[in-house]
Structure 1
Amino acid sequence: MDQMIIAQLADEAGVDPKEVNYMAHSGGAELATALLSGTIDASVSGYNDFSDQIEAGRLKMLGISAEEPVDGIDTPTMIEQGYDVSLVNWRGVVAPPGLEDEDVEELRTIMREVLESDTWADVLERNQWADSSLIGEDFEKNLEEERIIVDDIWKQLGY
Structure 2
Amino acid sequence: MFRNIVRTTLVTGALGFGFLASAPALALDSIKILVPANPGGGWDQTGRALQAAMNAEGIVKKVTVDNKGGAGGTIGLAQFVNGAKGDGSATMVGGMVMVGAIATNKSPVNLTQVTPLARLTGESLVVVVPASSKVQTLKELLDQFKANPGSVSWGGGSAGGSDHILAGMIAQAVGVDPSKVNYIAYAGGGEAQAAIMGGHVAAGISGFGEFQSQIKSGKLRALAVSGTERIPGETVPTLKEQGVNVELVNWRAIFAAPGISDAQHKELVAALDKAVASASWKETLKRNDWTDMYLSGPEFKKFLDADIERLTKLVNDLGMAKK
1:61 aligns with 2:222: yes
What is aligned with 2:251?
Answer: 90
Larger RCO: 1 or 2 (CA < 8 Å, sep 6+): 2
What is aligned with 1:157?
Answer: 319
**One-letter amino acid of the structure 2 residue matched with residue 19 of structure 1:** K
Q: In the TM superposition, what whole-angstrom CA distance separates every residue of 1:73-130 from its partner, at most 9, and x where no partner exists?
A: 2212223333332333332221123332232222222211111111111111122211
1:102 aligns with 2:263: yes
Farther-moved stretch of structure 1 (58-67 vs 95-104): 95-104
Q: Give the structure-2-normalised TM-score.
A: 0.45
Distance 2:261 2:309 in 1: 29
The structure with the largest strand share of the pair is: 2
Distance 1:133 1:84 in 2: 27
> Is the alpha carbon distance of 1:67 and 1:140 closer, same or farther for their aligned partners in structure 2, counting shifts above 3 Å?
farther
- Secondary structure at the residue paired with 1:75? coil
Aligned pairs for 1:17-32 (under 5 A) are 17-32=178-193
- Secondary structure at the residue paired with 1:92? strand
Q: In the TM superposition, what whole-angstrom CA distance separates every residue of 1:11-69 from its partner, at most 9, and x where no partner exists?
A: 11111110111111233443344334433211101223322332233322111122332
> Is the alpha carbon distance of 1:87 and 1:106 closer, same or farther for their aligned partners in structure 2, counting shifts above 3 Å?
same
Aligned pairs for 1:35-74 (under 5 A) are 35-74=196-235
**One-letter amino acid of the structure 2 residue matched with residue 157 of structure 1:** G
Distance 2:290 2:204 in 1: 20
**One-letter amino acid of the structure 1 residue matched with residue 319 of structure 2:** L
Q: CA deviation at 1:2?
A: 1.0
Q: Report which of the two structures shows the higher radius of gyration computed on alpha carbons.
A: 2
Distance 2:256 2:190 in 1: 31
- Is the Cα contact below 8 Å between 1:124 and 1:130 reproduced in 2? yes
1:8 aligns with 2:189: no
Distance 1:12 1:79 in 2: 10
Farther-moved stretch of structure 1 (33-42 vs 63-72): 33-42
- Is the Cα contact below 8 Å between 1:12 and 1:84 reproduced in 2? yes
2:295 to 129, 134, 146: 134
> Is the alpha carbon distance of 1:62 and 1:96 closer, same or farther for their aligned partners in structure 2, counting shifts above 3 Å?
same
What is aligned with 2:155?
Answer: none
- Secondary structure at the residue paired with 1:63? strand
- Secondary structure at the residue paired with 1:94? strand
Farther-moved stretch of structure 1 (27-36 vs 136-145): 27-36
> Is the alpha carbon distance of 1:39 and 1:103 closer, same or farther for their aligned partners in structure 2, counting shifts above 3 Å?
closer
Structure 2: give runs of 5+ residues left out of the alignment: 1-161
> Is the alpha carbon distance of 1:36 and 1:92 closer, same or farther for their aligned partners in structure 2, counting shifts above 3 Å?
closer
- Is the Cα contact below 8 Å between 2:209 and 2:290 reproduced in 1? no
Q: CA deviation at 1:158?
A: 4.0
Aligned-residue Cα RMSD (Å) equals 2.1
What is aligned with 1:146?
Answer: 307
**Identical-residue share of aligned pairs (%):** 35
Distance 2:169 2:313 in 1: 10
Farther-moved stretch of structure 1 (103-112 vs 81-90): 81-90
2:238 to 57, 71, 77: 77
**One-letter amino acid of the structure 2 residue matched with residue 102 of structure 1:** A
Q: CA deviation at 1:148?
A: 2.3
- Secondary structure at the residue paired with 1:44? strand
Distance 1:103 1:142 in 2: 22
**One-letter amino acid of the structure 2 residue matched with residue 98 of structure 1:** G
Aligned pairs for 1:116-131 (under 5 A) are 116-131=277-292
